[in-house]
Amino acid sequence: MIYSFTIYKEEGPLGTTKTLKNTEDNDLTVLGEVDGVTYVHVPFNTDIPEQYPEINFQEATLTDDIVGSLKRQRFASLKKQILRDTLEDEVGDLYDMVADCMKLVEFNIMLTSRLAADYFGTDALTQETKDTYATRNQTFLNGVDSGEIKIRGSIEDVNELFNRLITRYSKIQTIVDDRYLSELKKVGLVGGQ
């Protein structure tokens, strides 16, 4: 559950600051601050200490903008960096992962091209090739179904994942067009549409 509060400050020589009171085990995790409001995660079944009324501690309603802002702040950034370091230690460096992604893309392009050529009748697949693809495909599906192969869609909402990827992809293409290709087109280094 996510809660929010606002730090209370009294100015002056005898001024005071009132902020969140955490549990003895520091169960409350500060996620970040948006527009002067601090957001904290409180695990379920946590006994929250009584808070100062002045800080307006309450269950938070998160908008997409607030979530986006919190994901760019220290808590989420630190978690992402820890993930990157762990992936590099346990899987390989960024370039290894990019190379693996390129192999997957190549495999999918080849499969799609072969199936399209077979479908359109321009280059029919032999039964042996069909059997090879069918076995490879079924091995992958069996791994996903058994949980041996974990795909992102099994740990994250597929629609949200797809929308985020497509939005990010579209943003990249807009930036490439606006800041790079359009400039090269203006000077005749790239043909235009």
Is residue 30 included in any domain, yes or no?
Answer: yes
Number of separate domains in the chain: 1
Q: Is the pLDDT of residue 50 over 80?
A: yes
Give the range of the structural domain holding residue 44, as residue numbers without chain letter.
2-79
- Residues 181 and 174: their CA atoms lie apart, in Å, by 10
Per DSSP, the residues of 101-134 read HHHHHHHHHHHHHHHHHHHHTSSPPPHHHHHHHH
Is residue 28 included in any domain, yes or no?
Answer: yes
pLDDT tens-digit readout, 79-129? 999 999 999 999 989 999 999 999 999 999 999 999 999 999 999 999 999
Is residue 191 included in any domain, yes or no?
Answer: no
Give whole-number Cα distances, 176 to 70, 98, 170, 185, 191, in Å: 27, 20, 10, 12, 15
pLDDT of residue 109: 94
Residues 6+ apart with CB under 8 A from 62: 2, 39, 70
Alpha helices in the chain (DSSP H): 64-71, 74-90, 94-120, 127-146, 158-176, 182-186
